Amino acid sequence: MDIVAAIQMCSTHLVDENLETAARLIEEAAKHGARLLVLPENVAIMGLNEFDKCKVKETFGQGKIQDFLAEQSRKHRVWIVAGTIPIACHDENRVRAASLVYNDEGECVARYDKIHLFDVTISETEKYKESDFIQAGNEIVTVETPFGKLGLAVCYDVRFPELFRCLFNAGAEIIVLPSAFTVKTGNAHWEVLLRSRAIENFCYVIGAGQAGVHTNKRATYGNSLIVEPWGSVVSRLGSSDAGIAYAEIDLPKLHAIRQSIPVAQHQKIFFNVGELKYTNV
């Protein structure tokens, strides 16, 4: 069985500092035998303000952050799901929150742009409006890997089970969820949401989060975890420290569960994805 890893970080506003931390954790995970590594949302930058992402945005296919990710995957012979990084779009004042997948030869083999943007009011003092600086994606993405078929999602996406059912219908066996959950919503909903998405679709869910208090004073929930297809949490980290959660992927177990309760065959209601597109790499 293959080992997968959810990497937890407390990213700062300094890209080089974050890449240095990521390199250390990637090396550690590779030495532990992990072959699929999932980095958190905003892995390269948690800006002092939200528009700092626009200052370090890269054109897809080139740039310091992407070169780093390609080099790390090639160096350690691992697959990396690169959290989200800011990729330029047609709007000069916004970016795409792109989750890039690199194979063990350093090739970017898939890209998912976060679809559901976090425009919410948590309390009178905690509000977010990602749509001010992020342009939403419109593609549902799966990718074949040596460990199983990956479905790609990011953070707030987890509250939209129709996306996960679309990934399931496209053949996903492992769903990756780079995240930066707030403390309040994390305490209330993080684990139950990830376990629900795993149970509904009988898939592995890998939630890799930001954790702790960042240099912009924002606090994120951490508690990165990996859920197996029956819904049990098989690996978990704490709330505030950088680290790595590991688990083994048992595809025969997944297939046995799906055969015993064949929800794919029993499904009666199918979602109309409207303007969304499917990308199966």
| H-assigned helices in 37-132 | 52-55, 64-76
Contact between 239 and 266 (Cβ < 8 Å): no
The answer to whether 114 is a known catalytic residue is yes
Which residue among 41, 58, 173, 228 is the active-site one? 41
CA dist., res. 55 & res. 74, Å (int): 27
| Token duo for residue 163 | 């996306």
| H-assigned helices in the chain | 15-31, 52-55, 64-76, 161-169, 183-185, 191-201, 251-260, 263-266
Q: Residue 169 to residues 28, 157, 164, 276, 277: CA-CA distances in angstroms?
A: 34, 17, 9, 15, 14
Q: Residue 7 to residues 86, 139, 189, 248, 274: CA-CA distances in angstroms?
A: 19, 25, 20, 15, 34
- What Rg, from alpha-carbon coordinates, does the chain have? 17
Which residue among 10, 89, 155, 166 is the active-site one? 155
CA dist., res. 101 & res. 261, Å (int): 31
In the chain the first and final C-alpha atoms are separated, in Å, by 23
State the CB neighbour count (10 A cutoff) for residue 53.
22
Which residue among 114, 130, 149, 173 is the active-site one? 114
Catalytic residues: 41, 114, 155
